[in-house]
Amino acid sequence: MITRKNILIILAVLIVVGIGVLVQFYEPQRNKEQASSDEQALQSDRKFVNEKGEKWGPLPEGEYVFQVISAENAQPKFLEGVVDPPDVHVGDIQKFRIVVQSPAGINSVIANIETDNGTTTVPLEMTGEETWEGEWQVKDTHDTFYHTIFVARDAADRENSITIAWSDACGIPISGNWTTTANCTISSTDGVDNGNVTIQTYTLTLNAAFARNPGRSVSINSGSIVIGSSGQLREAYLYMADSDSDGYPANSTQYTGSASGRRRRSVLTSYTTDCYDSNSNAKPGQSSYFTTHRGDGSFDYNCDGSQTKRYTQTGGRCENCSSEARKEDSKFFATLIEDALAFQHFPNGNGECFPLGVGGTGWSGSAPGCGSSATYYTNPGDCMIDGCPWQAYGCNWVTRTQQCR
């Protein structure tokens, strides 16, 4: 029978256990978050931009374990390897282990490390039947350039290599077939949408998911695919966020699953990101101007970071010449000058309304701000004289709303 005292004891035990569980879960997580933000701060201090100006990194952390897929007839054949750690700093010791095989037997394996200031060659020693290992003390940085190249030579004098190009982006088109044109690395979800993949000559390194569509192929003619522990070659479609369906993604993140607001990457216009993903009129390269803000108060419709006014001309006015004196002047000039325009509009040719001076086209005052209205002289007209029937050349104005983009 459960007494009140027993219930209190059970409650007390539950509370103690609950606190224990909370502490257990909370502590490591806080430390992890702390470490992660420290790491981010460290990474953000460094600039990772390759020689083509493309951003890359940060590099995978800890021991980098990878598998290798090569063409059927490649010899010697790389199977797997370890780079520990992949992210190196001057003074660190970096270790390599490579598993490579050949029916003829392997004669040598070397690692060439190309960094910002040069190449270091590290010979690997055979430590197992097909395993080769080596290490070096890092003496260089790799903020713009960083390749790790393993070269194996067999007893039949055949040579093969794989190149892990940590710093190079792959330049995959937004839609359609893709063939490797350089050694490159996938660092966040990417792949080929609406096309086939051809690997030749170069090494494609996967440190994140690389998708190819169902029914599409991945051909390895030569070259290799290096798959890191967080890398993956999978069958999927690629998607990006484009809520307003204007063809420009909200950000550079790619997904292998669909969701509300996402569209297939291959239907998008460009990888260039949208500046406002909730209005299809706001997009990079927009040439039209608009009288209302795009939805967030900004009139930057062409995503160039500024709000450009369409109508900026000022000094709009009508010429004032309605006095009798000027009317007389106009008669005088008309008799002296054979003005084709005047006579064209005054078939009688009597010169009574010969034009005198012009007004100005533009805003009557300063150009109003985006979306604001003011008087705008669209046609300054010629001299308007009382009784003159010259309507086509009259002074016209409208209330205009400033357009921007």
Among 160, 302, 330, 402, binds Ca ion (CB under 5 A): 302
Q: Which of 360/371 has CB closer to Ca ion?
A: 371
Asked if 319 touches Ca ion (CB under 5 A), the answer is no
Assess 286 for contact with Ca ion (CB under 5 A).
Answer: no
Structure tokens at 67: 């598998």
**248 sits near Ca ion (criterion: CB under 5 A):** yes
C-alpha 301, offset from chain centre: 18
Alpha helices in 231-319 (DSSP H): none
Q: How far is the CB of 370 from Ca ion (least distance, A)?
A: 10
Considering only 277, 321, 345, 395, the residue that binds Ca ion (CB under 5 A) is 277
**Interface pick for Ca ion out of 114, 133, 193, 274 (rule CB under 5 A):** 274
To the nearest whole angstrom, how small is the minimum distance from the Cβ of residue 174 to Ca ion?
13
Which among 3-11, 90-98, 151-159, 271-279 is the span making contact with Ca ion, rule CB under 5 A? 271-279
Residue 363 burial by CB count (10 A; 0-12/13-18/19+): exposed, middle or buried? buried
273 binds Ca ion (CB under 5 A): no
Phi, psi dihedrals of residue 269, rounded to the nearest 5°: -80, -35
CB of 40 to Ca ion, least distance (A): 28
Query: How many residues belong to the site for Ca ion (CB under 5 A)?
Result: 10
Which conformational region is residue 104 in: left (phi greater than 0), alpha (psi within -120 to 50 degrees), or beta?
alpha
What is the Cα 117 distance to its own chain's centre?
29
Of 3-11, 58-66, 181-189, 305-313, the segment contacting Ca ion by CB under 5 A is: 305-313
Residue 382 within binding range of Ca ion, rule CB under 5 A: no
- Least distance to Ca ion, CB of residue 236, Å: 22
- 242 near Ca ion (CB under 5 A): yes
Our CB check for Ca ion shows the closer of 279 and 361 to be: 279
CB of 34 to Ca ion, least distance (A): 36
Partners of 314 in the beta sheet? 363
**C-alpha–C-alpha distance, residues 46 and 81, integer Å:** 27
Our CB check for Ca ion shows the closer of 287 and 344 to be: 287
Does residue 300 touch Ca ion according to CB under 5 A? yes
Which of these, 266, 260, 207, lies nearest to 236 by C-alpha position? 266
Q: What φ, ψ does residue 347 adopt, rounded to 5°? A: -55, -30
Binders of Ca ion among 30-59, rule CB under 5 A? none
Residues that bind Ca ion (CB under 5 A): 242, 244, 246, 248, 274, 277, 300, 302, 304, 306
